[in-house]
């Protein structure tokens, strides 16, 4: 049999042969920032789903940061809290709160 390092990963007694086991420690798999290829200064992680957003992060200029400021586009488009923060949505919600359904006006039941 052909082993990865030319040696079996176990000894004849059944215990582990360190010379035949490939590296799998977390400390061996983590690279220092100067050895990494990807530039993490030009992206950030979405705070809703954790996906990497390949856009240079920038702080919010204003009084209160919106809920979805650090979300990816997919999360911004599928989750409602951002839609409620717009002035147009607030006006529509206010107008709809005073309206009655036509069914209740005419006494119709479905």
**pLDDT value for 84:** 54
**pLDDT value for 85:** 64
Q: How far is CA 94 from CA 39, 67, 87, 102, 103, in A?
A: 46, 21, 11, 18, 20
* pLDDT per position as a tens digit, 88-110: 777 887 887 777 776 666 666 65
Q: 53: part of which helix (H) or strand (E)?
A: strand 52-53
Tell me if residue 52 falls in helix, strand or coil. strand
**Which residues, 6+ apart, have CB-to-CB distance to 26 below 8 Å?**
none
Domain ranges, ordered by start, for the chain: 40-94
Q: Has residue 73 got a pLDDT over 70?
A: yes
Q: What are phi and psi of 28, to 5 degrees?
A: -80, -20
* pLDDT per position as a tens digit, 14-57: 888 888 887 666 676 677 777 766 666 788 889 888 888 888 88
Query: Which residue is it, tokens 């490939």?
Result: 22
Q: Has residue 2 got a pLDDT over 60?
A: yes
More confident residue, 90 or 73: 73
Q: Has residue 79 got a pLDDT over 70?
A: yes
**pLDDT value for 5:** 75
The verdict on pTM exceeding 0.75 is no
Dist. CA 71–CA 74, nearest whole Å: 8
């Amino acid at each position: 049999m052909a082993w990865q390092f030319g040696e079996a990963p176990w000894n004849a007694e059944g215990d582990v042969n360190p010379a035949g086991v490939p590296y799998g420690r977390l400390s061996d798999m983590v690279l220092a920032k100067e050895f990494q290829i990807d530039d993490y200064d030009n992206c950030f992680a979405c705070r809703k789903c954790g996906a990497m957003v390949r856009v240079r992060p920038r702080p919010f200029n204003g009084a209160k940061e919106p809920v979805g400021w650090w979300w990816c586009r997919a999360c911004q488009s599928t989750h409602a809290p951002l839609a409620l923060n717009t002035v147009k949505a607030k006006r529509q919600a206010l107008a709809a709160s005073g309206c009655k359904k036509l069914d209740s006006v005419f006494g119709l039941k479905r």
